[in-house]
Structure 1
Amino acid sequence: MSHRESPLYIDTSAGLEQFCLEVQGAAWLAMDTEFLREKTYFPKFCLLQVATDRAVACIDPLALKSLEPLTDLIYSPAVVKVLHSARQDLEIFFHLYGKVPAPIFDTQIAAPLLGLGEQISYGALVAETLGIHLSKAHSRTDWSRRPLTPEQLRYAADDVIYLAQAYQQMRKRLDTLQRTQWLEQEFSDLVQPEVYEANPDSAWQRISGCLQLKGRQLSVLKELAAWREQAARKQDLPRGWLIKDEVLLDLARQQPQDPDALSHVRGLDERTQKKHGATLCGLVKEALERGPMNLDLKARPTKRTPEQEALLDLMMAVVRLRAAQHTLSPSVLASRKDLEQLLDGHEDAKLSKGWRHSMAGEELAALLRGELGLKVLDGNLRLFAHA
């Protein structure tokens, strides 16, 4: 499609059916979504852009009663869904249909394996892989407003037109380097339903400053955060519209058990006190009766011993060796913090899973177990297996 042409805009069931016939049999589908979330708990799905190597369309979920039969393609295990920074897009489909599309290919996750930066933006990815600099003219568009202008539709379509091109180039390079399979675990992790299920019991963990609280304060915060999560979901309102994070923290610290005490909590407006005051006080009482909550946090050493620092230096030498071997920046493969997590035995250490495990983590673990060592051979550092 020429960049000057308006992309196919689909707002009827007949148009969607025709498009699905055109792309039938596609091995992959580049996808992006436009949504709003400023005034809701759930993202408001406003536009879906899709592309294959032969077709592109902007599909209007606000005008269509159903996305069928496109959902058959989106959920087909035979079709790879290509996205960039996929989590928020996948969340929309999880909330709509109760399951996550799979399999996927996330170009942001794949980028570091090709020497590109971690957490690379879509614009930077397109510039690096295709040499094209995208416009940001409509980055603040209200995608819920209709009609959409031809310029807005072209801008939206660019998100999948160039994503499709970048994917084909990246996939070819990854296959040549035999690195595609290294991404399978990370892509698989991203389509697990639990990633998108907001558990009210763990809502307190997403509140900045929560770890400054202890004992009964934490118990109160957990109870209040769980209530807010359920209420926000039920009313489809942003969490902060009910009660802001900092107010929950103050409630946990002050632990008011009657309406008069609520008036001393900074930031708790009169309207919220009247509407939810009795509920909040009841939750505080329940949490206090339940007793203090103890966190099972691993103690982190305040200072490494000289031996530990030397071991970390040794591990970093292995990282540098493997990064050079695979033409990657060492910082993309592992930071010193990543090495510390592996050394400390953290279950979620980056180097214990995915492509980093394949490239260096497995060898580093063997080094820590004493199964591998380092030696200098002809002036070069080499890994060797102990006899």
Structure 2
Amino acid sequence: MITLTDTAALAEFCERAATAPYVTVDTEFLRERTYYAKLCLVQLAFPGDGEEVDAVLVDPLVDGLDLAPLYDLLRDERVTKVFHAARQDLEIFWCEGGVIPAPLFDTQVAAMVCGFGEQVGYETLARKVAKAQIDKSSRFTDWSRRPLSDAQKRYALADVTHLRVIYEALARQLKQSGRTPWVEEEMAVLRDPSTYETEPREAWRRLKMRNPNPRFVAVARELAAFREEHAQQTNVPRSRIFKDDALLELVSLRPKDHAELGKARLLLREARKGAIADGIVEAVRTGSEVPKEALPELPASKARDQIDQALADLLRVLLKAKAEGAGVAQKLIANAADLDDIAAGARDGDWNRGWRAEVFGRDALRLCEGRIALAAQGSAVRIVELEA
């Protein structure tokens, strides 16, 4: 088990990896105490001769190690970068190195396209595809602590060595089924830098607000923006500033000074003084003074009486039948909110673009238009064409 701890050794490995058709990549990180993930370990592997795999660990916590050779490899468009459940790994590489690997292949997405179910885990794929058992004893390791034990290193390397077999098997299956472009469509979202950037002024959209009053929303927007900015600047989790329930309580109280801030029941003690307290009061003041014509509004949601519930139920049956017929995970095609939107009159969305339109979207619209019906055929569902 080789651990790379100097830049020259990393550069030499990456030069060799750049001659391979693909490289498998994984990371270990900590995020419990920080806003941005702390990169603690990088695992890399590429196929060698025959069954051999050239695999290493890279220790980014070593003083003086420059990850530039790794970032150059990730940018190299001659080499496919293979991850499993890539989103968090890609966020780290974007935030730390300003790089998003390309070309990119996510085995979790590919497995959903290949009929392995919803968000299938790496251990499941390793068992089913690579016929390998993953030792879970190091699963909850504090990866920032050194030295790493041999068991921890073996566990980390298993995340990229078995991934080679999984990738090759899924890539073959996709090629045989003609679905490689489907996975490529999904990779476009993961390659988009905006996927990993949080704009403080948009942070309020994640809140679950039941009060649609525009003034309430305006104050919530300012508080959410302050919290996000402060969390980013101090590199602490946003919940350490104040949690969502405390934010919504502050919107209701609208404290004008530190004394009124003391009435908040859900606010952490650290948030009742200093920079956080000042920021809360200023955010409340700003939100309270937003001109009427500039007040934000909650996104329009479909009222229950707008949704044709019978049609929504039929769409759920159609989605299940089409997903099973195509061997694709349902949630990769459409979710419950999408089906309610369609039943309420929506005629456009991700569910009706690209391969999703081919598998489900077009028939969903035909069902809404009364051009097809659904019929039971034993335990299966079939589509019945209706006369115009």
Q: TM-score, with normalisation over the residues of structure 1?
A: 0.87
Contact 1:342/1:351 (8 A) holds in 2: no
Using the TM superposition, give the Cα deviation of residue 108 of structure 1 relative to its aligned residue in structure 2, in angstroms: 1.3
Per the alignment, in what secondary structure is the counterpart of residue 171 of structure 2? helix
Residue correspondence of structure 1 range 170-181 to structure 2 within 5 A: 170-181=170-181
Contact 2:114/2:328 (8 A) holds in 1: yes
Q: Give deviations 1:35-87, integer Å, cap 9, x for gaps.
A: 11122111111100111122111111111531132222111222221111111
**d(CA) in 2 for partners of 1:382 and 1:347?**
20
Q: Give deviations 1:338-368, integer Å, cap 9, x for gaps.
A: 4333344558845223532332223333554
Match of 1:285 in 2: 285
Which residue identity lines up with residue 51 of structure 1 in the other structure?
A
Which residue identity lines up with residue 168 of structure 1 in the other structure?
E
Q: Percent identity?
A: 34
Give the superposed CA RMSD: 2.9
Which residue identity lines up with residue 233 of structure 1 in the other structure?
Q
Which residue identity lines up with residue 11 of structure 1 in the other structure?
T
Contact 1:341/1:349 (8 A) holds in 2: no
Residue correspondence of structure 1 range 305-320 to structure 2 within 5 A: 308-312=308-312, 314-316=314-316, 318-319=318-319
**d(CA) in 2 for partners of 1:336 and 1:232?**
32
Per the alignment, in what secondary structure is the counterpart of residue 194 of structure 2? helix
1:297 maps to which of 292, 296, 299: 299
Using the TM superposition, give the Cα deviation of residue 23 of structure 1 relative to its aligned residue in structure 2, in angstroms: 1.8
> Taking structure 1 as reference, are residues 189 and 346 closer, same or farther at Cα in structure 2, changes over 3 Å only?
farther
Per the alignment, in what secondary structure is the counterpart of residue 129 of structure 2? helix
Contact 2:228/2:238 (8 A) holds in 1: yes
> Taking structure 1 as reference, are residues 346 and 151 closer, same or farther at Cα in structure 2, changes over 3 Å only?
farther
Per the alignment, in what secondary structure is the counterpart of residue 197 of structure 2? coil
Q: Give deviations 1:291-310, integer Å, cap 9, x for gaps.
A: 564425334232477xx445
* Structure 2: gaps of 5 or more residues: 49-53
Q: Give deviations 1:6-37, integer Å, cap 9, x for gaps.
A: x2211112221221233232222111110111
Q: TM-score, with normalisation over the residues of structure 2?
A: 0.86
1:12 aligns with 2:6: yes
Which residue identity lines up with residue 205 of structure 1 in the other structure?
R
Moved more, 263-272 or 157-166: 263-272
**d(CA) in 2 for partners of 1:284 and 1:259?**
12
Which residue identity lines up with residue 15 of structure 2 in the other structure?
L
Per the alignment, in what secondary structure is the counterpart of residue 108 of structure 2? helix
Match of 2:37 in 1: 43
Q: Give deviations 1:260-302, integer Å, cap 9, x for gaps.
A: 1111111334543220333322221121011564425334232
2:24 maps to which of 23, 27, 30: 30
Per the alignment, in what secondary structure is the counterpart of residue 60 of structure 2? coil
Q: Give deviations 1:83-123, integer Å, cap 9, x for gaps.
A: 11111100001111224222211111121222111112221
Match of 2:51 in 1: none
Which residue identity lines up with residue 29 of structure 2 in the other structure?
F
Match of 2:187 in 1: 187
Match of 1:119 in 2: 119
> Taking structure 1 as reference, are residues 142 and 299 closer, same or farther at Cα in structure 2, changes over 3 Å only?
closer
Which residue identity lines up with residue 151 of structure 2 in the other structure?
E
Match of 1:4 in 2: none
> Taking structure 1 as reference, are residues 345 and 139 closer, same or farther at Cα in structure 2, changes over 3 Å only?
farther
**d(CA) in 1 for partners of 2:156 and 2:56?**
10
Contact 1:29/1:51 (8 A) holds in 2: yes
Per the alignment, in what secondary structure is the counterpart of residue 69 of structure 1? helix
Contact 1:185/1:353 (8 A) holds in 2: no
> Taking structure 1 as reference, are residues 66 and 108 closer, same or farther at Cα in structure 2, changes over 3 Å only?
same
Number of residues of Structure 1 aligned to a counterpart in Structure 2: 377
**d(CA) in 2 for partners of 1:142 and 1:29?**
26
1:151 aligns with 2:151: yes
Contact 2:100/2:193 (8 A) holds in 1: yes
Match of 2:359 in 1: 359
**d(CA) in 2 for partners of 1:38 and 1:316?**
38
Match of 1:3 in 2: none
**d(CA) in 2 for partners of 1:204 and 1:319?**
32
Match of 2:239 in 1: 240
> Taking structure 1 as reference, are residues 205 and 304 closer, same or farther at Cα in structure 2, changes over 3 Å only?
closer
> Taking structure 1 as reference, are residues 9 and 385 closer, same or farther at Cα in structure 2, changes over 3 Å only?
farther
> Taking structure 1 as reference, are residues 331 and 241 closer, same or farther at Cα in structure 2, changes over 3 Å only?
closer
Moved more, 274-283 or 149-158: 274-283
Residue correspondence of structure 1 range 213-224 to structure 2 within 5 A: 214-224=213-223
> Taking structure 1 as reference, are residues 175 and 206 closer, same or farther at Cα in structure 2, changes over 3 Å only?
same
> Taking structure 1 as reference, are residues 259 and 27 closer, same or farther at Cα in structure 2, changes over 3 Å only?
same
